Chain A
Amino acid sequence: MAHRWGMTVDLDRCTGCGACVTACHAENNIAVVGDAQAAKSRAMHWIRVERYWEGDFPDVRLKFRPVMCQQCDAAPCEPVCPTYASHHTEEGLNAQVYNRCIGTRYCANACPYNVRFFDFYNPQWPKPLHLQLNPDVSVREVGVMEKCTFCVQRISAAEIDAKAEKRELKDGEITPACVQSCSAKALVFGDLNDPESEVSRLSRSTRGAKLLEELGTLPKVTYLARQTQV
Chain B
Amino acid sequence: MIRAVSRASVVVCTLLAAACGTNPTQQVSPAVYSPAHRTAADAAREFFNIRSKAEQPIPFPHKTHIAKKAVCTDCHESVEKGPIAGIPSVKTCMICHSQIATDKPLIKEVTAYADKGVEIPWQRVYGFTHESHVRFNHAPHIRAKVDCAACHGDLAQQTVAERSVDHTMGFCVNCHTAKKAPNDCLTCHY
Query: Is A140 within 8 A of B35, CB to CB?
Result: yes
User: Least Cβ distance of A35 to chain B in Å?
Assistant: 10
The reply to whether B137 and A127 contact each other, CB–CB distance below 8 Å, is no
Stretch at the interface among B58-66, B92-100, B127-135, B145-153: B127-135
Contact residues, B10-39 vs A (CB, 8 A):
20-23, 25-26, 28, 30-36
A124 contacts B by Cβ under 8 Å:
yes
Closest-CB distance, B25 to chain A (whole angstroms): 6
For the residues of A in contact with B, the DSSP-based class is loop
Q: Does B143 have its Cβ within 8 Å of any Cβ on chain A?
A: yes
Chain A contacts for B143, CB-based, 8 A? 163-164
Question: Closest residue of chain A to B24, judged by CB?
Answer: A121
The residue on A at minimum CB distance from B140 is: A160
Instruction: Determine whether the beta carbon of B184 is less than 8 Å from that of A139.
Output: no
B contact residues, range: 20 to 34
Decide: B32 and A124 in contact? CB cutoff 8 A.
yes
CA distance A140 to B36 in the complex (A): 10
A-B contact count (CB 8 A): 95
Q: Which residues of A contact B20 (CB under 8 A)?
A: 122, 142
Asked if A124 and B189 sit within 8 Å, CB to CB, the answer is no
Q: How distant is A177 from chain B, measured CB to nearest CB, in Å?
A: 14
The distance from the CB of A127 to the nearest CB of chain B, in whole angstroms, is 5
Complex formed: what's the CA distance from A136 to B129 in Å?
Answer: 14
Q: Is the interface of B mostly helix, strand, loop or mixed?
A: loop
Number of chain A residues whose Cβ lies closer than 8 Å to a Cβ of chain B: 38
Interface residues of A in 107-141 (CB under 8 A from B): 120-127, 129-130, 133, 136-141
Complex interface: chain B residues within 8 A of A160 (CB):
137, 139-140
Query: Is B185 in contact with chain A by the CB < 8 A criterion?
Result: yes
Query: Which residues 103-142 in B have Cβ within 8 Å of A in the complex?
Result: 130-133, 135, 137, 139-140
Contact of B35 among A95, A123, A153, A164 (CB under 8 A): A123
A76 to chain B, nearest CB (A): 20
Pick the residue among A97, A120, A125 that contacts B189 (CB under 8 A).
A97
- What is the CA–CA distance of A141 and B19 in the complex, to the nearest angstrom? 11
**Contact yes or no, B33 A149, CB < 8 A:** no
Determine if A125 and B32 form an interchain contact, defined as CB atoms under 8 angstroms apart: yes
Contact mask A164-193 → B, CB, 8 Å, 1/0? 100000000000000000000000000000
Return the contact of B36 from the options A133, A136, A141, A153 (Cβ within 8 A): A141
Q: Verify if B186 is at the interface (C-beta below 8 Å from A).
A: yes
Could you tell me which residues of chain B, from 30 to 69, have a CB within 8 Å of some CB in chain A? 30-36
Stretch from A10-18, A86-94, A208-216 forming part of the interface with B? A86-94
| Distance in angstroms between the alpha carbons of A122 and B21 in the assembled complex | 6
Assess whether A124 is in contact with B31, with CB atoms less than 8 Å apart: no
Chain B residues within an 8 Å CB radius of A143? 21
The docked-state distance in angstroms from the alpha carbon of A126 to that of B21 is: 17
B residues near A124, Cβ cutoff 8 Å: 23, 26, 28, 32-34
Q: Are B185 and A95 in contact (CB under 8 A)?
A: yes
- The reply to whether B36 and A139 contact each other, CB–CB distance below 8 Å, is no
**How many angstroms from the CA of A143 to the CA of B189 in the assembled complex?**
17
Q: Does A205 contact B (CB under 8 A)?
A: no
7 A-B pairs within 8 Å (CB atoms) are namely A97-B189, A99-B189, A122-B35, A138-B133, A142-B20, A163-B140, A163-B143
B residues at A contact (CB < 8 Å) = 20-23, 25-26, 28, 30-36, 130-133, 135, 137, 139-140, 143, 184-187, 189-190
